Structure 1
Amino acid sequence: MISRTCTTTACYVSSRAFFRTTQFSPQSDIDLLPAPKRGLHRAHGTILRMSEIDRPLGTPLGSRPTRILFLGSGELGKEVTIELMRLGAWVCAADSYAGAPAQQVAHESRVLDMANADALQALFDEVRPDIIVPEVEAIATEVLTGAAAHGAQVVPSAEIAGICMDRERLRVLAHEELGLPTTPYRFAGSLDELREGAPAVGYPCVVKPVMSSSGHGQSIVRGTDAIDAAWTEAQEGRRAAGEGDVSRVIVEALAPLDYELTVLTVSSSAGIAACVPIGQRQESGDYRESWQPASTPGAVLDEAQRIARAAVEGLVAKAKASGETGWGVFGVELFVLTDGSVLFNEVSPRPHDTGMVTMASQRLSEFALHARAILGLPVTEGHVALAIPCDAVAASHAIVVAGDGEAVFGDVAQALAEPGTDLRIFAKPEVHGHRRMAVALAVGTDETDARAKAGRVADALTITVD
């Protein structure tokens, strides 16, 4: 069942009128309708996707809007929605619950189980999007693939979405096809295979489901006596959709990690551009702080950007081979070891949590870059440059709230009294357990100063949950 909310009656009436003129139709209808109104264009007997030509940008309530559907409507999607609307797009935001952050600013919203193939297909049939933007991983990927085959632009592509949510496919691409450095690893489809693979990579090692996110199902194995428990943890923490009765796992060596980096890398109609690497701090696999530029030797920064570019180039090549664009922002996650070597870890095919710092550090945030890229607009090295002084650093500090109920933010004026600070409240309806509800931003003279400033903003807030 799909439920609907709409910000204005006018929006709903205009949209329904547009639905009647933009349904995918027989050949005769395609020839009769003005080409710019459609997601598919015909030239010399060949169907061309709108994403492959110069897309005109209309107005959202006019007769020729660019129709964009978000699958997932969290705080990152909210920022991208705002940036897309600044460029004239019409946005519908879907999520599993009502009132999600992006839904609050979109033209229309829907609530559904996006892992349900029938429900997702019904949503596509109703909304008829030109562009589909997956913001979560629990999606019926076969429906995404079908939408791409019928002319919708999936961001960055249906092929890339499938690769990035599967650690096995991603690791094979990165290491075995592209030759990028990674930790030693093995894959296992049974407990017996895991018992063989763990000693092969060496102890201590990390066991992860090939399909999971936010650290779910991961565990550290320090000896043979912990292998069985790690297998159980992986099975219980896996993403169940489409995996069958047993999830395959990856077991990889626990490298002598010094720190982690994120390199936001943009694929656009102008090619590939890499942002300045971002430093980060995590707790239990979740982002807590980030800063840009990372305080890292120049050789490490260069190698990090090289690996990030190569990874995204490889993914985009896969997208183009399947007839898709591969446009958008990628969050490439890297390990820096104690000896200074840089290893590829994973890729998020969308704006990254740690990239929220770009709202303070770059002239165009990761969200603005994502919006430009997916609309077919060029993003070059000049577009991804820092906007802060060359000797300054920007930082972000996630504000995680515990409790059960609505969150109310107090002492905001006191929290933002210090110059060079800012705050983004995500406006999530409720907290259940622990939930990231806001982010503090700051610019300082160096990493220590910027992080301390952002931390003071977070600490000064009084947050009540009732």
Structure 2
Amino acid sequence: MSITLPGPTLGVVGGGQLGRMLAEAAAPLGVDLVVLDPTPDCPAAPVATDQIVGDFDDADALDELAARVDALTFEIELADPDRLAAASEEHGVPVHPDPGTLETIQDKLVQKEALADAGIPVPEFVAVATAEGLERVVEEFGGVMLKARQGGYDGRGNVPVETPDEAADALDQIGGAAMAEELLDFEREVAVMGLKGADGETRTYPVTETVHREEILRESVSPARADDAVVAEAESVARDVLDVLDGRGVYGIELFETREGEVLVNEIAPRPHNSGHWTIEGARTSQFENHVRAVLGWPLGPTDLVAPAVTVNVLGDVHESRALVSQPESRRDSGDVDERGAATLRNVESVLDAPDADLHWYGKDDVYPLRKMGHLTVTDRGATDEADPDALLSRARELRDGLTFRDA
């Protein structure tokens, strides 16, 4: 193919922090980005070429987006696969990853069934619809992670169930169709950012270790603190996953390493993923640049590690008392307070003074507990094979813990 600059225009359904970082990666390539997002002045808006304000499944807004761009992609699983496909066909613009892949991944039960049918190792799982059925599964598995089949993210839609007595309440929390997955006593969680390009080319980034608390990703360590056999198996499983999925782009493949050294697939995201944010500073080509390249059918960039890297998320730590003040008077005693406050990050100079750290701010106006507001990455560019990942992680945690949204 012949590529000239200025380049094409890429349409992205979703304008959150992933859309923002896609726009930051697209600009140096001469690619304009137009995002579709329901929030006016969404996080991606300041760095994208333009924003169309509309819901992710708004047919008219998707039609407008497709009419203005040369290719379509998405950065959120709430995109509507049928309407994406219709807009793509109507305006003759490609959409990647394939809407059929998005549809499969949107339903966690269907996703797991597709992986299991392909012979890819996954935890034991089963659909559940009643408290009685869940009680039986909990007894059989010795505890489960109950997952909403659709719509869950960042820990929402996941409820651990350790005893049959917890079944009814857990189903109420899910509030819809659910899947029960065996509750693993795993050694660690790891992730592989996989990449599919034109002509079936596939690449993977180095395996990264992910640290979760309250089901939310807090930290990633690259390369992973796992032995060589586990790393090799994780890479092999990730490549098998890529073979199951249709469409170009980056895929976040989350995995468990069991106590016995097995590697099992947890979940897949058909887009850039928090587990791969370290690639901005730690890899030769970031996941965001490679996603842009892939969906446009351009040559892929190298995915090699250039420096050991630890990324830590900057999460909302706002006090409830301060959040209550930020609510309209009518809501303060309603029981419906969602603990929001104005997003003002303090002590930023401590990170800017650090020669080994890079800060990424997501541009969100409101903060609430556990909301992802930004991240910072610490790299060791002078590292050798003897680099100490634990020291790098401690350094990143120290810098993160010095940041706060709380009033002085």
TM-score normalised over the length of structure 2: 0.86
Distance 1:204 1:291 in 2: 29
1:301 corresponds to: 231
Q: Quick one: structure 1 residues 463 and 95, their matched pair in 2 at CA, closer, same or farther if it must change by over 3 Å?
A: same
Post-superposition shift, 1:123? 3.5
List gaps (5 residues or longer) in structure 1. Answer: 1-53, 60-64, 236-246, 317-325
Contact 1:72–1:94 at 8 Å: present in 2 too? yes
Q: 1:209: Cα distance to partner? A: 1.3
Counterpart check, 1:419 vs 2:355: yes
CA contact (8 A) 2:210 2:275 kept: yes
1:284-323 equivalence runs, <5 A? 284-316=214-246
Give the drift of 1:67: 2.4
Contact 2:316 2:368 (8 Å CA) reproduced: no
Query: Deviation digits for residues 269-315 of structure 1, max 9, x if unmatched?
Result: 26111111011111211111111000111110010011111011111
1:327-368 per-residue CA deviation (whole Å, 9 max, x = no partner) reads: 111110000011111111111111110211112211211111
Whether 2:315 is the aligned partner of 1:400: answer yes
AA aligned to 1:386 is L
The percent of aligned pairs where both chains have the same amino acid is 25
Name the structure 1 match of 2:280: 359
Match of 1:108 among 35, 39, 50: 50
Q: Distance in 2 between matches of 1:462 and 1:191?
A: 41
User: How many angstroms apart in 2 are the aligned matches of 1:99 and 1:121?
Assistant: 18
| Superposed counterparts of 1:319-330, under 5 Å | 326-330=247-251
Structure 1 SS opposite 2:119: coil
Structure 2 residue aligned with 1:123: 64
Structure-2 residue corresponding to 1:244: none
Deviations 1:42-70 (A, max 9, x none): xxxxxxxxxxxx374442xxxxx522211
Aligned to 2:384: none
1:426-457 alpha-carbon deviations (Å, 9 max, x no partner): 22222244422221111243211211221222
Partner of 1:168: 109
Mapping for residues 35-184 of structure 1, pairs under 5 Å = 54=1, 56-59=3-6, 66-115=8-57, 117-124=58-65, 127-150=67-90, 151-176=92-117, 178-184=118-124
Residues 422 and 58 of structure 1, relative CA distance in 2, 3 Å threshold: closer
Judged with a 3 Å threshold, the aligned counterparts in structure 2 of structure 1 residues 74 and 66 are, in CA distance, closer, same or farther, namely same
What is the alpha-carbon distance in structure 2 between the residues aligned to residue 437 and residue 289 of structure 1?
14
Structure 2 residue corresponding to 1:387, chosen from 284, 296, 306: 306
Question: Residue 250 of structure 1: SS of its match in structure 2?
Answer: strand
Q: Provide the residue aligned with 2:395 in structure 1.
A: 453
SS of alignment partner, residue 103 of structure 2: helix
Retained in 2: the 8 A contact 1:94–1:103? no
Partner of 1:188: 128
Answer yes or no: is the 8 Å Cα contact 2:277–2:311 preserved in 1.
yes
Partner SS for 1:402:
coil
Between the aligned partners of 1:55 and 1:82, the Cα distance in structure 2 is: 23
Letter matched to residue 207 of structure 1: L
The structure number with the bigger radius of gyration is: 1
Q: Which amino acid aligns with 1:168?
A: L
**Counterpart selection for 2:142 from 203, 210, 215:** 203
Matched-pair contact (CA < 8 Å) for 2:311–2:377: yes
**Cα offsets for 1:200-257 (capped at 9, x unmatched):** 4x1211111111222222212222222211221111xxxxxxxxxxx33111111221
Query: Residue 442 of structure 1 aligns to a residue in which SS?
Result: strand
Which residue pairs with 1:265 in the alignment? 194
Contact 2:109 2:127 in 1 (8 A): yes
Offset from partner CA, 1:166-192 (integer Å, 9 cap, x none): 11221111112x101111111134445
Which one-letter code corresponds to 1:347 in the other structure? Answer: I
Equivalent of 1:338, from 259, 264, 267? 259
Please say if residues 219 and 312 of structure 2, whose CA atoms lie closer than 8 Å, have aligned partners that are also in contact.
Answer: yes
For 2:164 and 2:360, locate their aligned partners in 1 and report how far apart those are by CA, in whole Å.
46
Moved more, 272-281 or 432-441: 432-441
**Distance 1:357-1:227 versus aligned 2 partners, 3 A rule:** same
Greater shift after overlay, 429-438 or 179-188? 429-438
Partner of 1:47: none
**What's the secondary structure of 1:372's corresponding residue?**
helix
In the TM superposition, residue 147 of structure 1 has moved relative to its aligned partner by: 2.4
Describe the superposition over 1:114-162 as per-residue Cα deviations: whole angstroms up to 9, x where unpaired: 23x444445346x443222211122333201212434322221111111
- Local SS of the residue matching 1:331: strand
CA distance in 2, matches of 1:349, 1:428: 23
**TM-score, reference length from structure 1:** 0.76
Comparing 456-465 with 266-275, which one deviates more in the overlay? 456-465
**Partner of 1:17 in structure 2?**
none
